[in-house]
Amino acid sequence: MGKIEWAMWANEQALASGLILLTGGIVGVAGQFRGWEFAAYAVAAGVFVCLLEYPRSKRAKGTSVERTGQYCFTVCVKAFGPLTRNYYVRAFLHAAICVPGGFMLATVLGCVCLGIASLIYLAAAIRGEHWEPILPRKDVRKPVAESIKNPPQNPPPRPPPEMRRKPAKELESSAYDNPIAVTDE
């Protein structure tokens, strides 16, 4: 946990807007409303925004939670380099995409929501945030954690419970041969 990364909320908002734009567009086209061309555009724009926003960015501080199956989307979005990394570009892109949605009632809601997402992205960009892909970890673990390994499958070598319960005076009979070498590494 740490300071607010506006981009995370902007991402949720933009994804939601993409879905709303898409739904409005589908309704407009299916119902053959007046201005259905705008609705058709909204369908395409909605799909594009959803694809762009689906992969979550890696957080600057803290653990990042991936969305299910976002890896292929991450690779595609990463391929565009600085265009997708920079949030100023995203803010202006979303602002531009949302405008044609305002010309038809069915897509107005998607337009306004995407506009709000664009504003939040602008705030994120001003604060210096940028998009980082979440890639599978290939790097070496930090030195601090090196001595902590995965819990071993077997418990540490202790004599079985029956032998442990022997009273202390029978020390000799409670001795046993350790099958695994016990050394202080």
Partner 1 sequence: MGNFVANEGLSIFVILVWLGINAFLFVHFYMAFLVDRWFYTRVLLGHALSWARAPAACLNFNCMLVLLPVCRNLLSFLRGTIQCCSRTAARQLDRNLTFHKLVAYMIAFHTAVHIIAHLFNFEFFMDAQLNRNSSHLPFILSEIGSGDNASFLNPIRSNETSPTIVMFTTIAGLTGVAITLALILIITSSMEVIRRSYFEVFWYTHHLFIVFFIGLVFHGYGRIVRGQTPLSLQTNSPNVCASSFEDWGKNESGCAVPVFAGNPPGTWKWVLGPMILYVCERLVRIYRSHQKVVITKVVMHPSKTLELQMKKKGFAMEVGQYVFIQCPSVSRLEWHPFTLTSAPEEDYFSAHIRIVGDWTQALYEACGGDKPEQQEAWKLPKVAIDGPFGTASEDVFRYEVVMLVGAGIGVTPFASILKSVWYKHIQNNQDVFTKKIYFYWLCPETQAFEWFADLLQSLERQMADKDMADFLSYNIYLTRWKETEAAHFRVHHEAENDPITGLKQKTLYGKPNWDNEFSNIALKHPRSKVGVFLCGPPQLGKSLETQCLSHSEADVKFIFNKENF
Binding residues for partner 1, rule: CB under 8 A, are 1-5, 8-9, 12-13, 16, 20, 23-24, 27-28, 31, 33-34, 56, 59, 62, 65, 102-106, 108-109, 112-113, 116, 147-149, 151, 155-158, 182, 184-185
Place of tokens 């290939």: 138
What letter represents residue 80's amino acid?
Answer: F
Cβ(25)–Cβ(41) under 8 Å?
yes
Rank residues 17 and 84 by Cβ distance to partner 1 and give the closer one: 17
Q: Give the angle subtended at the CA of 140 by the CAs of 87 and 127, to the nearest 5°.
A: 20
Rank residues 33 and 48 by Cβ distance to partner 1 and give the closer one: 33
Rank residues 57 and 84 by Cβ distance to partner 1 and give the closer one: 57
Q: Enumerate the β-bridge partners of residue 86.
A: 130
Q: How far is the CB of 178 from partner 1 (least distance, A)?
A: 9
Q: How far is the CB of 179 from partner 1 (least distance, A)?
A: 14
Q: How far is the CB of 184 from partner 1 (least distance, A)?
A: 4
Rank residues 20 and 125 by Cβ distance to partner 1 and give the closer one: 20
Q: How far is the CB of 107 from partner 1 (least distance, A)?
A: 10
Phi, psi of 77, deg, nearest 5 = -65, -35
Q: In whole angstroms, what is the distance from residue 37 CA to residue 28 CA?
A: 9
CA torsion sign, 134 to 137 to 139 to 140? positive
Cβ(22)–Cβ(44) under 8 Å?
no
Rank residues 33 and 71 by Cβ distance to partner 1 and give the closer one: 33
Q: How far is the CB of 165 from partner 1 (least distance, A)?
A: 12
